[in-house]
Amino acid sequence: MTQPRRLAFAAALAAAGLALPAAARTAAPSAPRPATCPAAVPADARCYTGADGQGAFYWIAVPKDWNRVLVMHAHGGPETGPPRPQRSEEDLQRWAVTVKAGYAWAGSTYRRGGYGVTMAAEDTERLRRIFVAHFGTPRRTLLHGQSYGAGVAAKAAELYAPAGGVKGPYDGLVLTSGVLGGGNTAYDFRLDLRVVYQYVCRNHPAADEPQYPLWQGLPPDSTLTRKELAERVRACTGVGLPAAQRTPEQAARLKTILTAVRIPERTLVAHLNWGTWLFQDVVQKRLGGRNPFGNVGVTYAAAPEEAAALNAGVARYAADPQAQGALAADSLPTGRTALPTVTLHAIDDPTAFVELEDSYRRIREAAGTADRLVQAFSNERSHSYLSDPEYPALFDAMLDWIDRGEKPTPDSLAQRCAAQVPRFTGESASGCHLQPAWRPQPIEHRVPPRAP
C-alpha cells in the first residue's frame, strides 16, 4: 500500500472511531537470531527469533532443502494479554508440517494483544520484509491465516495485493478454520450467548455484583477470573461434570442455552470467555465504550413451553451504528484482492462456524473476485488444527495454480491430500477428511439475523 493510501485508510478508520494503533515502539527491528527449533520442526532446519521494533516478536524457520517458497503465518486469537515470544514458537511447533514439506515459515505475535485485524495485517507484512532483508526474496510468498488470523490474512491480501493493482509481495492466500465475514458477523452470537446465559443462570454478573450492559464484556475494574467464570457455569449447568452427575435442573438449563445459541457443549465456556474478556477489549479499548453488537429483533429457539418467556425475558441491546462501522472498517473483508485463494474449514468446527465460509464466498462474489476462490471442507470436529497432510496439500495446490494456471477443485484437493498421507505421519496425521461435494448453509442458518 502506498503511503497516501495508507494515510487515507487510517483517516477513514479514525473517522469511524477505530484509529489504527500508534506504534508503542519505534526501535529498529532486531536481526533474526539463531534459536533452537521446537521439537516438531525437522532437526536439520534453521530457526530464528527476534523483535520487529514495533512491539511484536517473531519466529522464522527455514528447512535444509528449502523450496524457495515462504509461508507467512497469521495466527488466531486474538489473545488479550501482552505479546509473548512463546506465542510464535507455539505456532511454529503446531504448523511444523509446513517446514517438513519444504516451505520456510514466519509468524509474528502482532505488536499488542487484543483486537485489531488491520494492525495484525501490517505486522505480518513487516515480518515479511524482515525475512526478505535477511534471507533474500523468495520465489513465491503465500499468506496463511488460521482462525482469527484468516481475517488478518484476508485483510493483508486486500491491503498489499489489491484487485486491479500492481503486483504485490504475495502470490497466494490460504485460509484455514477462518473467522471470516468481519467482527460483527463472527461475534454477534456471543452477545446472544451472554443474554441467554444471564437469563437462565443469573450469575454473570451475580446479583450482588455491579450490573452492566452485557455487550461491555466486563466492567474495566472487574477482577473476575476465567477459573471463577468456569465455576459459575458449572454450578448453573453442570458443564465440566459427567452428565450423570448433573441435576435435572442443571441439565434443563444447559439444554435451553445450547438450543438458543446453537453452540456445542464442549465450547460453551470458551465462547463465554470470548464474550467476556474479548468483548471487554473490543468495546472498551478499541471502540471507546461504544457497542458494536445488538440483538434487537432476534428470535431465540427454545422448547415451545419456554420460548415466549425466554424471548420476552432476555436483555435486548441496539448496536451503535458508528461502532459497527468502525469494527467493520477494521475487520470486514472487502474481497478486493488479486490473490488466488483457497480455504479449508472443518464442517463441525465448534469455534468458528463453517457457515462463515458462505459469508466470505458472498463477499468475494460481490467484489467480482469469486473466480479466484476455491473452498474446501473436511469432515472434522476441530478448529485449532486439522490433519497434517491437509496443509501441504493446500500449499502445493496453490503453487500449481500460481505457476501453471492449474486452478484446484475440491476433488483435486482431496486427491492431493490423499497422496500426502504416506509422507506425513504423526499424532495429527489421521488421514484426509475432505468432502468435495459438501457446501455450507448461509450464516443465518446458525446465527439469527439482527434487525436492520
CB-neighbour burial class of residue 284 (10 A; exposed 0-12, middle 13-18, buried 19+) = middle
CA distance from start to end of the chain? 33
Residue that is written with C-alpha cell 502482532 in the block: 110
The C-alpha cell at 289 is 465504550
Cα gap 332→405, rounded to integer Å: 29
Q: Which residues of the chain have pLDDT under 50?
A: 1-17, 19-24, 427-428
Comparing CA positions, the residue from 312, 303, 284, 386 lying closest to residue 344 is: 386
Comparing CA positions, the residue from 50, 48, 52 lying closest to residue 126 is: 52
Cα gap 351→180, rounded to integer Å: 12
Q: Are 305 and 252 in contact (CB under 8 A)?
A: no
3-state secondary structure of 36: coil
The C-alpha cell at 126 is 513487516
Looking at residue 314, its amino acid is V
Cα gap 166→2, rounded to integer Å: 11
Cis peptide before 78 (omega within 30 of 0): yes
Looking at residue 270, its amino acid is A
The C-alpha cell at 371 is 473466480
Buried b (16+ CB within 10 A) or exposed e, 45-69: bbbbbbbbbbbbbbbbbbbeebbeb
Q: In 109-239, which ranges are continuous DSSP H helix?
A: 117-135, 148-160, 182-201, 226-237
Domains of the chain: 24-181+338-445 (3.40.50.1820), 184-327 (no CATH)
Cis peptide before 205 (omega within 30 of 0): yes
Comparing CA positions, the residue from 138, 104, 140, 106 lying closest to residue 123 is: 106
Cα gap 95→61, rounded to integer Å: 11
Alpha-carbon dihedral sign for residues 262, 266, 272, 275:
negative
Q: Which helix (H) or strand (E) holds 13?
A: helix 3-16
| Main-chain phi, psi angles of 19, to 5 degrees | -65, 145
Cα gap 297→326, rounded to integer Å: 22
The C-alpha cell at 250 is 442443571
pLDDT at 425: 67
Cα gap 201→193, rounded to integer Å: 11
Q: Which helix (H) or strand (E) holds 173?
A: strand 172-176
Cα gap 366→334, rounded to integer Å: 9
Cα gap 257→156, rounded to integer Å: 36
For residue 74, the cross-strand partners are: 145
pLDDT at 7: 36
Segment 382-417, tens digit of pLDDT: 999 999 999 999 999 999 999 999 999 999 999 999
pLDDT at 166: 79
Sheet containing 57-62: give its strands across: 33-35, 46-51, 57-62, 104-108, 69-74, 140-146, 172-176, 341-346, 373-378
Q: Are 58 and 46 in contact (CB under 8 A)?
A: no
